[in-house]
Structure formats: C-alpha cells, structure tokens
Amino acid sequence: MKIAVCIKRVPDQDVRFKIAAGGKAVDEAGLKFDMSDFDGYAAEVAIQLTEKAGAGEVTVVSVGPDAVQETLRKALSMGAHRAVQLKHDTPVHDGYAIASALAAELKEGAYDLILTGRMAVDTQNRSVGAQLAELLDRPYIGAITKLDVEGGMVKARRELEGAFELVECTLPAVLSIDEGIARARYPSLKGIMAAKKKPMDVRPAQLGAQRYTLESLELPPERTGGRIIGEGPDAVPELVRLLKEEAKIL
C-alpha cells in the first residue's frame, strides 16, 4: 500500500507570540518549530499501517521553505520512507492554494491513501484535507479517531458530541486524522541515523491561485490583574458602579 502524509511545520504553541514588524506575521525569533501535532498522528498511523502489513511505502509531503526539510526529516526518522518538499519561500495562508500544490504532486504516484492532520495547530483552518480530496476527486473522511483498512475498504470512526459515527469508503481515499488514534512515536537514534540516508525530493510548489490574503495579526489584550474593592455587602455598590462604568458590561 502506498500512503502519502501531508505535514506542516508549525511553531511550538506553548509560548507567548510576538507580532513581527509589518503586523502580518509572527515574529519567529526564538521560536522552535516542529511537526503539527495532528500531522504527527497521521504520520504515525501511516507508518503503523505499513509496519503491520510488512509492506508498503510512506511518503511525507510538505509545502514551504527549506526549513520544512527538518520537519520532513523527523517524519523519516519516525519511519516514513521518502519525503517531498514542495518548495515555496513565502508563507501561504490560503488552504486552497496549498491543497492545489499537494494535489499536483499527489495525483501521480498511485497513492492508495492520503492522510492529513485534522488541522494545522497554528492556523487551525481545517480546509486542506477536504479540498485536496475534492481536487483529486476521491472520497474524504474528516477527523477520524479509528481506522481499519482491509480489502480495498476504509472503515473509519469519527467522534461526535456524545456519539461515534462509523464511516466506510473505498480506496483510494483522503482522510484527516484526529487525536486519540495514535501517539506520534519518539524517533529512536537508529531511526534518526537511517533517516539521513532516505530520499528527499525538492520540487517547486505549484500553488493554485490564492483567494485570500492575511491582512493583519493582533494579540489579545493583556490580562490585567484583579482588584479587591472591599468585602461584604458594603462593597456591592462600588462593584456595580465599576462594572457599569469601567468594564461596561452591565
């Protein structure tokens, strides 16, 4: 079975971001980058499928500047077999453009399965997987938490609010992977060494027309510290006044 996994390089999320000059991008100074979490689960699912079958090939694909090679290399050290960088040096925010670039690459190669993460943890647009399926004219199941592939059929489980949904489709298909399905493995040193020798192709990204542009980025207002205005019933009138006049919520 041939599986392609689309992965995105994203900044570590547990830090306080700063906005870069120009107000349209995050200041990348001091940021650490890694594979988007859901893409990591997708890579793990793909690797497990080939390990279980004892055959098959996992190709990881990413759109972006040369820095994405580091992220692709991590997927190779986890156990993916080959990588493709669709090179584009400026940030792309339009999911349709990215899906077009991926579709141009993945329409060839006879991939049985194409996996994406449920969403990129930085931009959270959730649009690439479905658009990619549409461009390739393949069935799509989104945000799956359990997967069986047998006899040319995909059986997937999706988690809804208070219910499970079981969905089937035929191969080839595009699936997006939710959390809970598998933990991305920690690459062993053996894997890291092996990854250095695995093929990494670089091709220009054939982005489709970009239909929207990012206008500006803003940080939420800093939280100000709490204030104690008094105790007991005596403090109530002052509290009401402040809620009306300062916070303007009453």
Partner 1 sequence: MHIVFALVVVAAFGLFAWNAWRLILELRMGRLDDSRWSDVGARLGNLLSIGIFQKKIFRDSVAGPMHAAIFWGFCVLTAGTIEFLVAGVFPSFSFAKVLPGVLYRFYTINQDVWGALVLLAVSFALFRRITKRVKRLMGAETHPNDPLLILSWIGALMITMFGDQAMAMVANPEPGIGLLRPISAVIAALSSVVVSPSAALTLERLFWVSHGLLVLSFLNYLPYSKHLHVVVSLPNVYLSNTSGPGQVGVMSAMDLEGDLEVFGAKDVEQLSWKSLLDGFACTECGRCTSVCPANITGKPLSPRKIMVNVRERLEEKSAAAGIGLIGRSAGGTAVTTAGATTARALLDTYITEDELWACTSCRACVTECPVSIDQLSVINELRRNLVLGESRFPEEILPAFESMEQKGSPWAFDPADRAKWADGMDIPTMAELHGRGEKPDVLYWVGCMGSFDDRAKKTTVAFAKIMKAAGVRFAILAQEEKCHGDPARRMGNEYLYQMLAKDAVGVLNTYAVTKVVTACPHCFHQMGNEFPQWGGHFDVIHHSTFIEELLAAGKVPLRADLHEPVSKFTYHDSCYLGRYNEVYDAPREALKRALPVMELVEMPRSRDRGMCCGAGGGRMFMEEHVAEGGKRINAERAEEALATGATTIAVACPFCMTMLADSVKARDADVTVLDIAEVVAGRLAV
Question: Which residues of this protein are in contact with partner 1, per CB under 8 A?
Answer: 12, 14-16, 30, 32, 34, 183, 185-193
- Nearest-approach distance from CB 5 to partner 1, in angstroms: 19
Cβ distance to partner 1 smaller for residue 190 or 223? 190
Instruction: Give the residue with the Cβ less far from partner 1, 33 or 217.
Output: 33
Q: Which of 103, 167, 98, 168 is nearest to 133 (CA)?
A: 103
Strands (E), the chain: 2-6, 9-11, 33-35, 57-64, 82-87, 113-117, 140-150, 153-160, 163-170, 173-177, 200-204
Q: Which is nearer to partner 1, 18 or 107 (CB)?
A: 18
- Rank residues 110 and 189 by Cβ distance to partner 1 and give the closer one: 189
Give min distance, CB of 189 to partner 1, in A.
4
Which is nearest to 124 in space by CA: 143, 141, 107, 139?
143
Q: CB of residue 183 vs partner 1: minimum separation in angstroms?
A: 7
Q: Whole-number minimum distance, CB 20 to partner 1, in Å?
A: 16
- Min CB(29)–partner 1 separation in Å: 11
Give the residue with the Cβ less far from partner 1, 90 or 186. Answer: 186
| Spatial CA neighbour of 43 closest among 8, 93, 86, 67 | 8
**Main-chain dihedrals φ then ψ at residue 96, nearest 5 degrees:** -70, -40
In whole angstroms, give the CA distance from residue 149 to residue 159: 18
Task: Collect all residues with Cβ–Cβ distance below 8 Å to 8 and sequence separation of at least 6.
Answer: 35, 36, 39, 62, 63, 64, 71, 117, 120, 122
Tokens of 133: 């399926």
| Rounded least distance, CB 18 to partner 1, Å | 9
CA distance 36 to 102: 17
Single out the residue of 138, 176, 137 nearest to residue 159, CA to CA. 176
Q: Looking at beta carbons only, is 125 or 188 nearer to partner 1?
A: 188
